């Protein structure tokens, strides 16, 4: 910004100077009143003119300036008139004549070349701006765009990072090494050359790098992987060289490369030829990190969520000695992350981070930050001074299930069909073994679905057993079966349920070895992607007869769970009817009301329930979301 302001000031000064010069040279333009030559001659004959000054030559035209008897001034341009002098003498007008001042040779050159000089100056200015503000001239394309961070530009520390204690311990060791390297060198240890932070999007990899910059009292250079990419050949490698040269002058220091997969993808990937500019950039980075010339005192920290596409030469020890996994937070980590973000929001006394942490399984740190922000927005929308638990529940439901579409007009038949569909999911979910607890059922359209049955696990799950997967398949079939039993019809609302159930049954047979007939063997084809440097061909490793057996096993699993769900719903028709009635009246029921229905108790009404105005004359609006599907929390 300082450079831009400086350039603008320079060009303003140049413009003012040029305007002043032209005003000085343009002497013909004065404040005198310019009149026609005929008027001038009429005033002379009327004896109104006192004095006259004639400039120029008669044959080329003359400028006549003078004063009237009343003190006024005038100016006129006179063509060739041989009677002018006689007329002035006849009427006693005092006059003098002088030749026109010829401009100097230097001024003629300046006036003739000024437009060209101005165009050249503007062109040079814009070229310097395109090349990085004029720093380095034409060679600035190869300059690194890494930004150096210090205490004034980055205030994030390890106290602002939560939910990844193991990853924090790994990087804390690097900060400790930079502060006191003798403690490690005395035992023969050397500083790691690089650390690769790997994790799902939103887990806090970049935030952890910012915390390292805030804690380490050494220069910290931050750059994105896409900053090496340019339209000119050789620019990426030149920027890598310049970045490491700058880092060597400031060693010991840290270089952070965000989204390194932009330049670190496996070499030789793709079909056919193509531009190898990215590979040149990667080759230069490999040499700078661990080549013939060592980079003592420089630690490279990189972050990516695609470690599978990185080149093996980049991942070997000596370049990236450590791979720090930043996982999705567990229930304790989610509670810590919520506490960090809640410090910035006025929280009511009824908000319990532990309860929210249990109800948000599978969420990353970015998702939890979004929950807190959405809750604050809900509180502001409701004119509250504090953010309470109701706002957090609304925010959690909006993120996990989608925004409510209360303005959507549905016919009464579709509304009833959706209620039976979701009741079928919920009742089967309460009766099958090892099923996640049913948290909430709603027939309010949310997102792309007409209704939702939400299940929340009691604890974080890292693997799933066979009984759990079979129960999930039965729950998915509950919606269609309820439509058949109670509405005597089939709708397209179960389309997504069937897709997920079939995919789950196929994975059980072909990937997980959960078929007694086929045993623990993987039945599938090569999934290698050619654009990731894998093989261009796929190899079938099973015969046609085996694939028929695989299809038979998938069909057997689906038929058995379909029959199980149908039997459970036929045996509990009264519970489905009562749950459907509750949904049609209240539109949303929670776990307590579901438990009342399953225990043959009268369900308690929801708090602050307001009846919904339902129009029976409208049809479902057009769109690509006709389905009423379940959304288990484990898949959010």
- What is the spatial distance between Cα 527 and Cα 510, in angstroms, rounded to a whole number? 13
Both 550 and 446 in a single domain?
yes
Q: What's the confidence (pLDDT) of residue 444?
A: 77
Both 321 and 435 in a single domain?
no
Q: Token pair 């609006």 is at which residue?
A: 621
422 given a catalytic annotation = yes
Both 246 and 283 in a single domain?
yes
Both 430 and 373 in a single domain?
no
Q: What's the confidence (pLDDT) of residue 616?
A: 40
Question: What integer is the mean pLDDT of 67-86?
Answer: 78
Q: What's the confidence (pLDDT) of residue 32?
A: 57
Both 564 and 504 in a single domain?
yes
Question: What integer is the mean pLDDT of 535-540?
Answer: 50
Residues 355, 361, 366, 371, Cα dihedral to 10°: -40
Task: Kindly report the CATH number assigned to the domain that includes residue 272.
Answer: 3.40.50.300
pLDDT of residue 539 exceeding 80, the answer is no
pLDDT of residue 302 exceeding 60, the answer is yes
**Has residue 465 been placed in a domain?**
yes
Task: Kindly report the CATH number assigned to the domain that includes residue 550.
Answer: 1.20.58.760
346-355, 367-376, 570-579, 595-604, range with the lowest pLDDT: 595-604
Both 574 and 547 in a single domain?
yes
Both 380 and 457 in a single domain?
no
Among 275, 297, 325, identify where a domain stops: 325
Q: Give the angle 423-428-429 at the CA atoms, nearest 5°.
A: 95
Both 606 and 468 in a single domain?
yes
pLDDT of residue 619 exceeding 70, the answer is no
For residue 156, CA distances in Å to 64, 152, 153, 165, 335 come to: 77, 11, 9, 16, 20
Q: Token pair 């740190």 is at which residue?
A: 365
φ/ψ (deg, to 5) at 55: -120, 135
Q: How confident is the model at residue 146 (pLDDT cuts 50, 70, 90)?
A: low
To the nearest 10 degrees (0 to 180), the angle between helices 205-215 and 165-179 is: 30
pLDDT of residue 112 exceeding 60, the answer is yes
CA–chain centroid gap for 353, Å, is 27
**Has residue 2 been placed in a domain?**
no
Strands of the 147-149 sheet, one edge to the other: 147-149, 220-224, 253-258, 298-304, 194-198, 322-325
Global pTM reads: 0.63
169-178, 470-479, 606-615, range with the lowest pLDDT: 606-615
**Has residue 130 been placed in a domain?**
no
Q: What's the confidence (pLDDT) of residue 623?
A: 33
**Has residue 69 been placed in a domain?**
yes
Question: Can you say which residues are annotated as belonging to the binding site for ATP?
Answer: 199-206
pLDDT of residue 412 exceeding 50, the answer is yes
Burial class, 344, CB count within 10 angstroms (exposed 0-12 / middle 13-18 / buried 19+): exposed
Helix (H) or strand (E) holding 255: strand 253-258
Both 468 and 541 in a single domain?
yes
DSSP-assigned letter for residue 620: P
Percent of the chain whose pLDDT exceeds 70: 76
pLDDT of residue 633 exceeding 70, the answer is no
User: For residues 443 and 513, is the Cβ–Cβ distance under 8 A?
Assistant: no
Q: What's the confidence (pLDDT) of residue 56?
A: 73
Among 283, 302, 325, identify where a domain stops: 325
**Has residue 300 been placed in a domain?**
yes
Question: What integer is the mean pLDDT of 556-562?
Answer: 90
User: For residues 40 and 51, is the Cβ–Cβ distance under 8 A?
Assistant: no
Q: Give the angle 361-561-543 at the CA atoms, nearest 5°.
A: 100
Could you tell me the residue range of the domain that residue 394 belongs to? Answer: 331-401
Task: Kindly report the CATH number assigned to the domain that includes residue 73.
Answer: 3.30.720.210
pLDDT of residue 431 exceeding 80, the answer is yes
486-535 per-position pLDDT tens digit: 888 888 888 888 888 898 898 888 888 888 888 888 886 545 454 444 44
Q: Token pair 């620019």 is at which residue?
A: 235
**Has residue 291 been placed in a domain?**
yes
Q: Quick one: the chain helix, strand, coil %, rounded to 5?
A: 50, 15, 40
Which tokens go with 488? 């005597």
Paired strand residues for 178? none
Both 590 and 453 in a single domain?
yes
DSSP string over 449-494: BS-EEEE--SS--S---HHHHHHHHHHHHHHHHHIIIIIS---GGG
Question: What integer is the mean pLDDT of 263-282?
Answer: 67
Which tokens go with 353? 């981070």
Q: What's the confidence (pLDDT) of residue 484?
A: 84
Q: What's the confidence (pLDDT) of residue 138?
A: 45
Question: What integer is the mean pLDDT of 163-171?
Answer: 79
Pick the catalytic residue from 277, 414, 422, 587.
Answer: 422
pLDDT of residue 361 exceeding 50, the answer is yes
24-38, 399-413, 568-582, range with the lowest pLDDT: 24-38
Q: How confident is the model at residue 601 (pLDDT cuts 50, 70, 90)?
A: confident
pLDDT of residue 116 exceeding 70, the answer is yes
**Has residue 461 been placed in a domain?**
yes
Question: What integer is the mean pLDDT of 610-636?
Answer: 38
pLDDT of residue 635 exceeding 60, the answer is no
**Has residue 103 been placed in a domain?**
no
Q: What's the confidence (pLDDT) of residue 62?
A: 76
Q: Can you give the three-state secondary structure of 200-216, one letter per residue? A: CCCCCHHHHHHHHHHHC
Mean pLDDT: which of 114-128, 456-470, 518-532 is highest? 456-470
Question: What integer is the mean pLDDT of 131-135?
Answer: 48
CA–chain centroid gap for 623, Å, is 27
Burial class, 582, CB count within 10 angstroms (exposed 0-12 / middle 13-18 / buried 19+): buried
Among 325, 353, 370, identify where a domain stops: 325
Q: Pick the closest to residue 443 from 482, 472, 486, 414 (CA basis).
A: 414
Both 447 and 596 in a single domain?
yes
Percent of the chain whose pLDDT exceeds 90: 0
Q: Pick the closest to residue 358 from 243, 432, 439 (CA basis).
A: 439
Question: Can you say which residues are annotated as belonging to the binding site?
Answer: 199-206, 421, 425, 497
Q: Give the chain's domain count.
A: 4
Both 471 and 430 in a single domain?
yes
Question: What integer is the mean pLDDT of 19-28?
Answer: 57
pLDDT of residue 107 exceeding 70, the answer is no
Q: How confident is the model at residue 230 (pLDDT cuts 50, 70, 90)?
A: low
């Amino acid at each position: 910004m300082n450079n831009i302001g400086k350039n603008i000031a320079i060009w303003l000064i140049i413009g003012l100077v040029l305007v002043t010069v032209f005003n000085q040279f343009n002497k013909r333009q004065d404040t005198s009143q310019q009149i026609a030559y005929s008027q001038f001659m009429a005033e002379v004959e009327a004896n109104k003119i006192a004095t006259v000054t004639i400039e120029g030559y008669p044959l080329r035209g003359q400028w006549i300036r003078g004063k009237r008897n009343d003190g006024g001034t005038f100016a006129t341009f006179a063509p060739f008139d041989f009677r002018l002098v006689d007329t002035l003498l006849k009427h006693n007008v005092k006059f003098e004549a002088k030749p026109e001042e010829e401009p100097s040779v230097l001024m003629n050159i300046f006036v003739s070349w000024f437009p060209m000089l101005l165009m050249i100056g503007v062109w040079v200015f814009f070229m310097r701006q395109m090349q990085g503000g004029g720093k380095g001239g034409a060679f600035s394309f190869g300059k690194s765009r890494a930004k150096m961070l210090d205490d004034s530009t980055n205030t994030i520390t390890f106290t602002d990072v939560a939910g990844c204690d193991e990853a924090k311990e790994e990087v804390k060791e690097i900060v400790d090494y930079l502060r006191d390297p003798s403690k490690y060198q005395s035992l023969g240890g050397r500083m790691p050359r690089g650390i690769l932070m790997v994790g799902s999007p939103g887990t806090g990899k970049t935030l952890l790098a910012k915390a390292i910059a805030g804690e380490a009292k050494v220069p910290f250079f931050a750059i994105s992987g896409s900053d090496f990419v340019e339209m000119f050949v050789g620019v990426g490698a030149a920027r890598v060289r310049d970045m490491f040269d700058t880092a060597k002058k400031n060693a010991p220091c840290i270089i952070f490369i965000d989204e390194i997969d932009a330049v670190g993808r496996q070499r030789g990937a793709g079909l056919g030829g193509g531009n190898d500019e990215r590979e040149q950039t990667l080759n230069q980075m490999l040499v700078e990190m661990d080549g013939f010339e060592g980079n003592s005192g420089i630690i490279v920290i990189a972050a990516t969520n695609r470690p599978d596409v990185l080149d093996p030469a980049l991942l070997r020890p000596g370049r990236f000695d450590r791979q720090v996994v930043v996982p999705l937070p567990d229930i304790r980590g989610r509670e810590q992350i919520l506490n960090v973000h809640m410090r910035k929001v006025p929280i009511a006394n009824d908000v319990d981070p532990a309860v929210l942490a249990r109800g948000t399984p599978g969420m990353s740190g970015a998702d939890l930050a979004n929950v807190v922000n959405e809750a604050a927005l809900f509180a502001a929308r409701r004119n509250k001074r504090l953010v309470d638990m109701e706002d957090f529940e609304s925010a959690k439901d909006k993120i996990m299930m989608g925004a409510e579409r209360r303005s959507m007009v549905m016919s009464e038949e579709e509304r009833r069909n959706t209620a039976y569909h979701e009741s079928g999911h919920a009742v089967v979910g309460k009766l099958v073994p090892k099923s996640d607890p049913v948290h909430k059922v709603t027939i309010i359209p949310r997102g792309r679905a007409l209704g939702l049955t939400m299940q929340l696990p009691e604890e974080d799950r890292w693997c799933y057993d066979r009984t759990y997967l079979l129960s999930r398949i039965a729950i998915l079939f509950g919606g269609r079966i309820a439509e058949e039993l109670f509405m005597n019809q089939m709708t397209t609302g179960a389309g997504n349920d069937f897709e997920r159930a079939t995919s789950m049954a196929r994975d059980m047979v072909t990937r997980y070895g959960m078929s007694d007939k086929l045993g623990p063997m993987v039945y599938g084809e090569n999934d290698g992607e050619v654009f990731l440097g894998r093989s261009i061909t796929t190899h079938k490793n099973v015969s046609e007869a085996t694939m028929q057996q695989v299809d038979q096993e998938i069909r057997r699993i689906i038929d058995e769970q379909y029959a199980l769900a149908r039997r459970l719903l036929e045996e509990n028709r009264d519970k489905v009817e009562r749950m459907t009635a509750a949904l049609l009246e209240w539109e949303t029921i929670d776990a307590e009301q579901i438990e009342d229905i399953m225990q043959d108790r009268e369900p308690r009404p929801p708090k602050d329930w307001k009846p919904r105005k339902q129009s029976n004359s409208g049809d479902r609006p057009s769109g690509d979301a006709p389905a009423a599907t379940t959304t288990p929390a484990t898949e959010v």
